[in-house]
Amino acid sequence: MASLTVPAEVPSVAEDCEQLRSAFKGWGTNEKLIISILAHRNAAQRKLIRQTYAETFGEDLLKELDRELTHDFEKLVLIWTLDPSERDAYLAKEATKRWTKSNFVLVEIACTRSPKELVLAREAYHARNKKSLEEDVAYHTTGDHRKLLVPLVSSYRYGGDEVDLRLAKAESKVLHEKISNKAYSDDEVIRILATRSKAQLNATLNHYKDEYGEDILKQLEDEDEFVALLRATIKGLVYPEHYFVEVLRDAINRRGTEEDHLTRVIATRAEVDLKTIANEYQKRDSIPLRRAIAKDTGGDYENMLVALLGQEEE
C-alpha cells in the first residue's frame, strides 16, 4: 500500500508553479513550501508541474531545485520529482558508475519493478544516455555478476498469476541440485531466476521448501558477494517488502546512516508499497519507521522523508 498522501482538493498546476517559484525567490529558500507541494503530488501531477513550470518561466524545475537545495534534502527532492521511469534510469546509471556493491541497485530495479515498469526504465535509460541499460551493465560488470545482471535487466517476464505446478516441481529440483552443489552461477539457475514470472517463481520456491524442508534462502548464506546478489534477486522477486525492510535496516542501523539507500527506498516506494514496508519494518524492529528515521536524520531531509512516509501529522 502506498504512503503518499495527496490532498482531496489539489490546487491548480499554475498555482503550484507560482508557489514553487516564490519559494526560490527572496532571502533564502522556502523549503517548507517546497515540501508541502512536491511531497503531496503523484507522478502524473509532478510531471505536469515540471512541464508547466518550464512553459511559464522558461526554466527547468529540476535545475532550479538543484540550485536552491543542498545535500541529502536536495538529492531526495530531485529523485522524487523525477518520473518513476526516469528515476530508475538515473539510479541505474549511477549504479553502473560505481563499485560492485552498487550491483544491488541494479538487482533492485530489475526484480522489484513490474515487467512494464522495467521496460519503461530501459526506454528512459536509452533516451537519457543514448545507449542501452544492458550495454552499460555488460560493460561495467564481469564474470558471474555480468552473467546474472544482464539477463535480469533485459527481462520481460509474464506478469500474470497463472502458474504451472509441474514446471514448479521440475525447476525446484533443478535449483536444489545446483545450489546443494554450490553451482550458484549455473546457467539453469540464472535462466530460472531471470525469465520466470514472479508467480511461477513463488510456486517453485514454495515447492522447494515443501519438498526439501528448507527455504532456499537458508541455503544461500555463504559470505560470497555473488551469493548475496542471488539472495537479493530472490527476495526482490518474491518477497519485495522483506527485501526493502532489509535495505532500510542496513541503511538506518549501521554506524552513520546510509542516506543514499534511505533516499532511494523512500522515493521509489512511496507511491507503491511504502506503508506496507513501514508496517513490516515495525514488526521486525519493534520501532516505527518514522521514529527510526527521525532518530538518524534531521532538518528538511527528515521532514521530506516523513512527508513521503505520510506521517507528518503524527
Q: Which residues are annotated as a binding site for Ca(2+)?
A: 24, 26, 28, 68, 252, 254, 256, 294, 296-297, 302
Distance (Å, rounded) from C-alpha 242 to C-alpha 61?
Answer: 35
* Contacts with 4 (C-beta within 8 Å, 6 or more apart), sequence order: 40, 42, 270, 271, 274, 308, 310
> With contact defined as beta carbons under 8 Å apart, do 278 and 314 qualify?
no
Dmax (CA) for the chain in angstroms is 68
Using CB atoms within 10 Å of the CB of residue 94, give its burial: 0 to 12 exposed, 13 to 18 middle, 19+ buried. Answer: middle
Query: How many helices (H) and strands (E) are present in the chain, helices listed first?
Result: 19, 0
Q: Give me the DSSP letters along 83-128.
A: -HHHHHHHHHHHHHTS-GGGHHHHHHHHHHS-HHHHHHHHHHHHHH
> Closest Cα to residue 215, out of 175, 171, 163?
175
Distance (Å, rounded) from C-alpha 7 to C-alpha 285?
Answer: 31
Binding positions: 24, 26, 28, 68, 252, 254, 256, 294, 296-297, 302
Distance (Å, rounded) from C-alpha 105 to C-alpha 32?
Answer: 30
Distance (Å, rounded) from C-alpha 179 to C-alpha 209?
Answer: 13
